[in-house]
Structure 1
Amino acid sequence: MTSALDLRDRVVLTDVSKTYDSAIGPTVALSPTDLTIEPGEFVSIVGPSGCGKTTLLQLLGGFLEPTTGALLVGPDRIAGPSPERGVVFQSPTLYPWLTVRGNIEFGPKCRGVDRKTRRAEADQLLQLVGLGDVGDQRPYELSGGMQQRAQIARVLANDPRIILMDEPFGALDQLTRERLQVELLRLWRQAGKTIVFVTHSVEEAVFLSTRVLVMSARPGRVIVDRRIDLPGDDPDHVRALTVTATPEFQSIKSELAQAIYEAHT
């Protein structure tokens, strides 16, 4: 049975589209789209370049207004950015003049959380993302992967209901990317948040997600909505990288890659 809290956190898009004006005329980035994302889902969005993945994420973040339709979180219309929807960008957006801990404390400080409480919460999050020993360093003293973990911790410090991630691991080396994928799954399991994740990597989408959406070439629309159920995938266990070698994983990956190829041709 769906609880009242679950209903409050459900994301619903009804007939949502986005058209941009340009010098050569209007460009439809997103065709009218109906979509429901249930609380606690990890939904990845994949598709060819220019298909509207980031446009859809920016609509969910409240950075863009839809040309048509309505976006709701529970009963509330998305009318602009909100701390209830945290955003992790492709490149870390940390304040270089603050320490890593200071970056994590920034949101709670703006909300009026007292110093002792926000310091304790920041230290807990630093431990959660594996940065417990670098809280007093500046962001530029950290590796790219560590900066991304700090950015995730800063988003979690605001306790958002939904986390939106726009290719956050795209610029990282493969080893760091794989480590952060496992770390993100662990954080998602522990925090119980809803995550919407944009990526160009089908393998990453299948590995991370409970559900993958494939979008068509522009004008973008959802052409595949695929539930992901892999062997040994239970709520109390973080998925191991070894699952990528299973026939089930490879079959789903091939199915989605084929859908993207056909959408682009």
Structure 2
Amino acid sequence: MTAAVEPRDRVVPTGVSKTYETPSGSTVALSPTDLIIEPGEFVSIVGPSGCGKTTLLQLLGGFLEPSDGTLLVGHDPIGGPSPERGVVFQAPTLYPWLTVCGNVEFGPKCRGVDRKTRRAEAQRLLELVGLGDAGGKRPYELSGGMQQRAQIARVLINDPRIILMDEPFGALDQLTRERLQVELLRLWRESGKTIVFVTHSVEEAVFLSTRVLVMSARPGRIIVDREVVLPADDEAGVRNITVTATPEFQALKTELAKAIYAAHV
């Protein structure tokens, strides 16, 4: 029998754990964790503060080494950060001395892509995230929401196979947050990327995701792995903010919130 071929972009942590060593002793941040994230999924991770959500994301990004276990993308081990795994941080990390367009095209510039090609791609992505007329501005001239959109464009220009997002909308006002959630869903549908998204908001997780993981209090472990199935909002199956008022949405939100509460008490 021929062995099954693993999808190239499948993310597979197996028995992955993380223990931090400090002068006062050892702290287990993440218990041994097994997980499979299929290509094209939008997976959100929720749980109480300190449960290991960000630790797991940093392990997937290659910023941390696991204390035990293996981390694979397809058949390739994660041995450090890679442009194939783009990271959107909670706070925008734009370079203040560059223009918005200069920030977006920074990666291709470092790779030696010619100016005309990288500038055209940067402009295309700025238009995609609704910043087509902001390329010549400096980051400090943009609102927080606009800076986050610029950061997303800067990640997308490197064409990563996987996008890791660590509470990217946590510091934004509710209206801006909702707008960017809708924008992110559109970008995800159009790009077909795999997204792993860390958030403290159960509502945000349910709205954005095809799947939600709930983690226990420290030492973190996955206690719920729930597929998200919601009613379509239009003929194309596009989800918009009105879905949050449906019984299906509210029931799933309540189920996951109860799971988090039960794990924390």
Same fold per superposition (TM over 0.5) = yes
Q: Deviations over 1:180-203 (max 9, x none)?
A: 000000000011100000000000
Q: Deviations over 1:189-245 (max 9, x none)?
A: 011100000000000000000000000000000000000010116894431100000
- Matching residue's letter, 2:256: L
- Matching residue's letter, 1:178: E
SS in structure 1 at match of 2:104 = helix
Alignment of 1:1-265 (within 5 A): 7-232=7-232, 236-265=236-265
User: What 5-or-longer segments of structure 1 have no aligned partner?
Assistant: none
User: Is contact 2:59–2:66 with CA below 8 Å preserved after alignment?
Assistant: yes
User: What 5-or-longer segments of structure 2 have no aligned partner?
Assistant: none
User: What percentage of residue pairs aligned between the two structures are identical?
Assistant: 82
Deviation >2 Å, runs of 4+: 233-238
- Matching residue's letter, 1:121: E
- Matching residue's letter, 1:168: P
Q: Deviations over 1:30-77 (max 9, x none)?
A: 000000000000000000000000000000000000000000001100
Q: In the comparison of the two structures, how many residue pairs are matched?
A: 262
d(CA) in 2 for partners of 1:75, 1:240: 36
d(CA) in 2 for partners of 1:17, 1:235: 43
Q: Which shows bigger deviation, 43-52 or 6-15?
A: 6-15
User: Is contact 1:206–1:253 with CA below 8 Å preserved after alignment?
Assistant: yes
SS in structure 2 at match of 1:72 = strand
d(CA) in 2 for partners of 1:175, 1:227: 27
